[in-house]
Amino acid sequence: MCGIVGYVGGQQAAPLVLEGLTRLEHRGYDSAGVAVLGTSGIKIAKQKGRVRDLGGTLPKRFQGRTGIGHTRWATHGPANDVNAHPHTDAKGLVAVVHNGIIDNAAALRQQLTDDGLDLASDTDTEVIAHLVAGSEQDTLEGKLIDALGRIEGTYGVAVMHADFPDRIVVARNGSPLIIGVGEKEMHVASDLAALVRYTTTVAHLDDGEMATITAAGFTTFTADRSSTHKAATTVDIDPAAYDAGEHDSFMHKEMLEQPTVAARVLRGRLDERFGTAHLGGLNMGARETRAIKRVKILGCGSAYYVGQMGASLIEELARIPADAEAASEFRYRNPIIEPDTLYVAVSQSGETIDTLLAVQEIQRKGGRCVGLINVVGSAIARECDGGIYLHAGPEVAVASTKALTNMFLGFALLALQLGRVRDLSIADGKRLIAGLNALPGQIEEILAKEDELSEIAIGLAGAESLFFIGRVRGFPVAREGAQKFKEISYRHAEAYQTSELKHGPLALISDEVPTIAIVPNDELADRNVAAMHEIAARRGPLLAVTHEGVDFGELDAVRIDVPANEPELDPILLTIPLQLLAYHAARHLGHDIDKPRNLAKSVTVE
Ligand code: F6R
């Protein structure tokens, strides 16, 4: 999704801004632009396409020590040079970059046109530049406050003005902005990834907060001009986490990190003696935990699917009714919020707008919401009443892998804690802890099969359409497998409940449509094998992700055996080979694995 970078200081801004933008490329974008403010005013370069192409076109005299840049993911108007940010007013005195969506853009565009202005682009952002230029306030801060007062919608916005060359003024409402503090220079960005090469001393803006950034420092305030006295803090992030190293992609690097990060999310949270988990961050005592009557999990995309795995874990271990719902749908059905329900928001980025809005809906109605979040200090993490950080480290690839694994483990820890204040026995608690401790090693075993999985994936890559099927615990695994496959291989991959196949989709099975069946060695294995026979009878090619003990008899199916753990924990192990299948199919097809078309890492617009 769109990215913002800004710099004020003693150095030339353009190279620093461009470097920052390349660090945001993984978020997904279709055009890029940069503006610098020097002695001869504002200069702008922007175009459709990659940041490196933009860098190659900059003239020598593209100079200025204040600069802003942007990567755009089209919302209003197609991806082209004109719609790329930064946008300016008619006189070229103001330059604006913006993430988010202005809901009343059409009305504002009309008013500006009625006032005699020609709008150059189709974007909502351009109106901000004209509104800032049209304000009669005598400071840039006042002009931006004026402009934002007329805007409805979400924004992370950064503005420069030729009459105020020493500063960038920024504002946040729904789209992240982080200020980076350097030595007599300041940075701003929508994502830490663009800052960590220069500084790890940062300040996250809150919604409703604005900031002025000059080489000497920053001040934060609100639209009524009262100071918010925000101080910068140091984040514990290794800049190397944003480097793919010897890997051909971040996705590959991140898949291989899974054993390490899985061990990390468990560290210090398992109580072997009492067979339980300790999650201090939930901010809930035993009595409050016991009072929970229901659990509702909210997330989007893969986070929603892993939420479904989490709901099964909670129901099985704690015997509390639990379900997961797409956060993007939740608030639109005027949900009933119950005081004895524990709401759980699950998100890698902690910035997904749909999940954030769901949390706000819950809190508006007095519900308690905790978060399973990877990015420390992110918007959802800060809005929740408590939570579990996932400690997966920065996840750069658009396709989520290691964060997803740690989400599952976060749910396992939560289920264990909820279970042990109810009827889960100490022996069962210990059984699960042994299973959890074995998981990192078992993930490693699966990753070691990469060559075998790569060959299978190359076979699948030729299919235009595939089914992923599973039952009960296996169904969210199938959903996640299909999701990963479609988003990076661009093949049509559909997940179905194995039991539902013959109620419709069986009509699509042919020798050209492979089915990937999730078949754990559980009480449903026979039923799964029976469904696979029905597919085989229609000449459908079959691949089973399964356990050693499952007998497929005469069935002509390729099998991938994963190590078995406790049945409740098996879903995550069954998921890992599906990541490798998607990755190798996409690689074979020559796709850009980390930046799949049309997708973005943090979906910060609705
Ligand atoms: C798929 C994927 C997305 C995200 C979804 C939610 O591989 O990464 O489906 O899971 O956009 O993102 P977060 O977890 O940041 O809320």
Whole-number Å distance between alpha carbons of 547 and 570: 10
Q: Which CATH number goes with the domain that contains 273?
A: 3.40.50.10490
pTM, full prediction: 0.84
Q: Which of 27, 191, 300, 372 should be mutated for ligand 1, with most atoms under 8 A from CB? A: 300
Q: Is residue 482 part of a domain?
A: yes
The angle, 0 to 180 degrees and rounded to 10, between the axes of the packed helices 426-447 and 258-266 is 160
Reference 478, options 308, 601, 595, 325; nearest CA is 308
Same domain, 145 and 271: no
How many folded domains does the chain comprise?
A: 3
Same domain, 265 and 233: no
Whether 26 has a pLDDT exceeding 80, the answer reads: no
Same domain, 410 and 482: no
Residue 545 · residue 560 · CB < 8 Å: yes
Whether 605 has a pLDDT exceeding 70, the answer reads: no
pLDDT in tens, 282-313: 988 889 999 999 999 999 999 999 999 999 99
Q: Which residues contact 317 (CB under 8 A, 6 or more apart)?
A: 415, 416, 418, 419, 424, 428, 432, 568
Report which ligand 1 atom has the smallest distance to the Cα of 299.
16
pLDDT in tens, 166-193: 999 999 998 889 999 999 999 999 988 8
Residue that terminates a domain, selected from 398, 413, 443 = 443
Whether 1 has a pLDDT exceeding 80, the answer reads: no
Reference 493, options 478, 471, 474; nearest CA is 478
Residue 210's pLDDT is 98
Q: Which CATH number goes with the domain that contains 66?
A: 3.60.20.10
| Residue having the nearest C-alpha atom to atom 5 of ligand 1 | 301
**C-beta of 524 in contact with ligand 1 (< 6 A):** no
Question: N- to C-terminal Cα distance for the chain?
Answer: 11
Whole-number Å distance between alpha carbons of 595 and 601: 9
Whether 28 has a pLDDT exceeding 90, the answer reads: no
Q: How far is the CA of 372 from the centre of ligand 1 (A)?
A: 13
Catalytic positions, please? 2, 601
Q: Is residue 503 part of a domain?
A: yes
Same domain, 399 and 290: yes
When the pLDDT of each residue in the chain is averaged and rounded to a whole number, the result is 94
Q: Is residue 209 part of a domain?
A: yes
Whether 374 has a pLDDT exceeding 80, the answer reads: yes
Containing 47, the helix (H) or strand (E) segment is: strand 41-48
Q: Which of 308, 400, 576, 593 should be mutated for ligand 1, with most atoms under 8 A from CB? A: 400
Tokens representing residue 311 in the block? 């709901």
**C-beta of 301 in contact with ligand 1 (< 6 A):** yes
DSSP code string of 369-399: EEEEESSTT-HHHHHSSSEEE-------SSS
Residue that terminates a domain, selected from 408, 443, 478 = 443
**C-beta of 417 in contact with ligand 1 (< 6 A):** no
Report which ligand 1 atom has the smallest distance to the Cα of 301.
9
Same domain, 265 and 150: no
Q: Is residue 161 part of a domain?
A: yes
Domain that holds residue 280: 244-443
Helix ranges, 267-390 (H): 286-290, 302-318, 327-330, 353-364, 379-383
Same domain, 434 and 461: no
**C-beta of 349 in contact with ligand 1 (< 6 A):** yes
Mean pLDDT of 14-18: 96
Whether 237 has a pLDDT exceeding 90, the answer reads: no
Q: Is residue 597 part of a domain?
A: no
Same domain, 106 and 149: yes
**Residue 281 Rama label (left phi>0; alpha psi -120 to 50; beta):** alpha
Residue 384's pLDDT is 94
Reference 9, options 195, 196, 184, 220; nearest CA is 184
Q: How far is the CA of 529 from the centre of ligand 1 (A)?
A: 32
Q: Is residue 231 part of a domain?
A: yes
Reference 436, options 283, 212, 265, 249; nearest CA is 265
Report which ligand 1 atom has the smallest distance to the Cα of 603.
11
**C-beta of 347 in contact with ligand 1 (< 6 A):** yes
From residue 544, give the alpha-carbon distance in Å to each of 173, 339, 369, 402, 468: 47, 43, 38, 23, 10
Same domain, 377 and 483: no
**Residue 98 Rama label (left phi>0; alpha psi -120 to 50; beta):** beta
pLDDT in tens, 34-76: 999 999 899 999 999 889 889 888 988 899 999 999 999 887 7
Whether 13 has a pLDDT exceeding 90, the answer reads: yes
pLDDT in tens, 406-449: 999 999 999 999 999 999 999 999 999 999 999 999 999 999 99
Q: Which of 352, 380, 575 should be mutated for ligand 1, with most atoms under 8 A from CB? A: 352
Containing 336, the helix (H) or strand (E) segment is: none
Surface-to-core class of residue 234, CB atoms within 10 Å of its CB (0-12 exposed, 13-18 middle, 19+ buried): exposed
pLDDT in tens, 81-96: 889 999 999 999 999 9
Mean pLDDT of 555-582: 97
pLDDT in tens, 387-416: 999 999 999 999 999 999 999 999 999 999
Residue that terminates a domain, selected from 443, 471, 495 = 443
Reference 597, options 399, 354, 327; nearest CA is 399
Top pLDDT among 343 and 239 is at 343
Top pLDDT among 437 and 241 is at 437
**What's the chain's Rg over C-alpha atoms?**
25
Residue 346 · residue 307 · CB < 8 Å: yes
Q: Is residue 509 part of a domain?
A: yes
pLDDT in tens, 191-223: 888 998 899 999 999 989 999 999 999 999 999
Same domain, 435 and 515: no
Residue 378's pLDDT is 85
Same domain, 432 and 536: no
Whole-number Å distance between alpha carbons of 200 and 178: 11
**C-beta of 352 in contact with ligand 1 (< 6 A):** yes
Same domain, 252 and 192: no
Q: How far is the CA of 51 from the centre of ligand 1 (A)?
A: 24
pLDDT in tens, 501-530: 889 888 899 999 999 999 999 999 999 999
Range of lowest pLDDT (53-57, 133-137, 182-186, 368-372): 53-57
Q: Is residue 511 part of a domain?
A: yes
Q: Rounded to 5 degrees, what are φ and ψ at 221? A: -160, 175
Same domain, 439 and 486: no
Residue corresponding to tokens 């469904």: 531
